[in-house]
Amino acid sequence: MNRGRIVTGFVLLLLAAGGWWIASNTYWVTETVSMPLQGEAARNPFHAAQLFVRRLGASPQTDTLLDTRDPRDVIVLNRWGWDLSAARRQQIERWVEAGGRLVVDESLRLSGEEFQRWSAVQYEYIETTAEEDKALEEEAARTGETPEADPCIELRQVGESPLRDELVDSRYFMCNSDERDVLTSQRQVSWGLRGRHGLNAARMAVGKGSVTVIRGYPFTDERFLKGDHPGILVAAAQLRGADRVHFLTESEHPSLLALIWMYGAPVVGLAAAWLLLALWRNGVRFGSIVGTATPARRSLAEQIRGTGQFALRFGGGTALHRATRRALLETASARIPGFHAMVEADRVRAMAAAARIGEAQLGAALDPGSGAGRELLSSIALLESARRAILSFKRSPSHAT
């Protein structure tokens, strides 16, 4: 047996020991796992309650705004800002006073003090005594059961049953509610559910209608399927077969952008069009607005005329007059014999004779201050004509040498 076989055998022994330990310390059990809500049940917290109400023959619907004025209807409120708008709050108050049946849950406790003032309902928490805590611990130790985080508590009905049925049990089990959270009211309670420490549900008459306050959230999501919550809804809403039940909630509301588009789509569209037009109008362009003209070579005559027009346009034509006068004198100096030795008057006379124009007219044109505007243009034209005429003037043979 060589060393390699010893190492292989040792590794196999370790693997076998590990497999035996895992098999001895693990076991399989079946555990129920709650699946997340899907579809309408995930979007609508009152989905289960609405299905139940519809099976009873009533007409349920989900609203975010008060959409009824019929005092024969029922409204169930959840997570609804009572103090958010005085107008809609007063609308509900008038609807109840006209005969409507209003049912609210724990969520309105956090909406402000206006609801408590109007309904005359106060929330109170009962502190347990040391003896009660000790009794609960002894009961748990005796039974070996751990107290549930959200136990179902037994409640007794007080007042007249809205169902008017002798077979209706006066006991209800409410889950996910602390029985030490109780309700008190300065008004007479016409119906309620009482626990060991006080009322967990109470109905008071308001005008011709009524308002019923329930502790906890027994009518939303999967909590509606626990305990006797369906029966509590029927009793709290005084439900009858032909009723219309409006479930009002603001737990799900559109975003700010969705609300802007919902109520101001035309304004948003016009603003977007104006913004796009402004960006297009003032944006950086990658080319000229008009196509670039094809470059072409200009003739010498065009360049001369362009230069003359420029000189005439800027400076009143004075520079062009001086240039024309200087060109005439240079031409006369080259073509007329003895031109440099002549005085000014003789030069004018010689140039006039060579150009065959009047001496006085040429002298006036040579004057640097010879008018302006059309007069200056006439002088420049006369000087240019004289220069061209002198260019064709030929010297006599006696002066050629």
DSSP track, 118-138: HHTEEEEEPPPPHHHHHHHHH
| Alpha carbon distance 361, 1 (integer Å) | 140
State whether 176 and 104 are in the same domain: yes
Total domains in the chain come to 2
Distance between the two ends of the chain, CA-based, in angstroms? 137
State whether 181 and 111 are in the same domain: yes
The encoded tokens of residue 48 equal 């289960």
Q: Which helix (H) or strand (E) holds 202?
A: strand 199-206
pLDDT of residue 199: 92
Task: Return the minimum-mean-pLDDT range out of 135-144, 221-230, 385-394.
Answer: 135-144
Q: Which residue has the higher pLDDT, 225 or 373?
A: 225
State whether 91 and 229 are in the same domain: yes
Contact 180, 125 (CB under 8 A): yes
Q: Is residue 401 part of a domain?
A: no
State whether 180 and 114 are in the same domain: yes
pLDDT tens per residue, range 46-66: 999 999 999 999 999 887 667
CA distances from 20 to 12, 17, 23, 27 (A): 12, 5, 5, 13
> Domain with 210 in it: what CATH number?
3.40.50
State whether 69 and 187 are in the same domain: yes
State whether 233 and 306 are in the same domain: no
**Arithmetic mean of pLDDT, 98-110:** 90
State whether 337 and 188 are in the same domain: no
pLDDT of residue 373: 66
Q: Which residue has the higher pLDDT, 93 or 301?
A: 93
pLDDT tens per residue, range 313-345: 666 677 778 888 888 889 888 888 888 889 888
Range of the domain at 47: 40-126+147-249
pLDDT tens per residue, range 134-184: 666 666 666 555 555 557 888 999 876 554 444 455 789 998 877 788 899
pLDDT of residue 398: 45
pLDDT of residue 213: 94
pTM of the model: 0.56
Residue 302: pLDDT above 70? yes
Contact 362, 355 (CB under 8 A): yes
State whether 86 and 188 are in the same domain: yes
Residue 311: pLDDT above 80? no
Q: Is residue 4 part of a domain?
A: no
Q: Is residue 218 part of a domain?
A: yes
| Alpha carbon distance 394, 378 (integer Å) | 26
Q: Is residue 219 part of a domain?
A: yes
pLDDT of residue 206: 92
